[in-house]
């Protein structure tokens, strides 16, 4: 099933150790047209902690 990536922007992500963040952007493989990394922000209001998460570490989104 196809879904728009716009629906995943600001989606909440959670690490194994319990840290929570929000999806900010996606990095693509321009030859294969697939998502390679998700750019997530794990910082607070004024202090950004952006991390790139490889696609291999992501699970299926909970769309509810």
Tens digits of residue pLDDT in 9-52:
888 888 888 888 999 999 999 999 888 999 999 887 777 788 89
Beta bridge partners of 22: 12, 41
Tokens of residue 15, six digits: 């690490």
Q: For residue 17, what is the DSSP state?
A: T
Give the span between the Cα atoms of 59 and 51, in whole angstroms: 17
pLDDT at residue number 64? 66
CA-based nearest residue to 50, from 21, 30, 26: 21
- The structure's pTM equals 0.72
């Amino acid at each position: 099933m196809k879904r728009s990536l716009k629906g995943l922007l600001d989606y909440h992500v959670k690490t194994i150790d319990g840290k929570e963040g929000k999806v900010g952007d996606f990095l693509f493989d321009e030859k294969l047209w697939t998502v390679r990394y998700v750019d997530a922000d794990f910082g607070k209001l004024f202090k950004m902690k952006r991390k790139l998460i490889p696609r291999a570490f992501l699970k299926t989104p909970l769309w509810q």
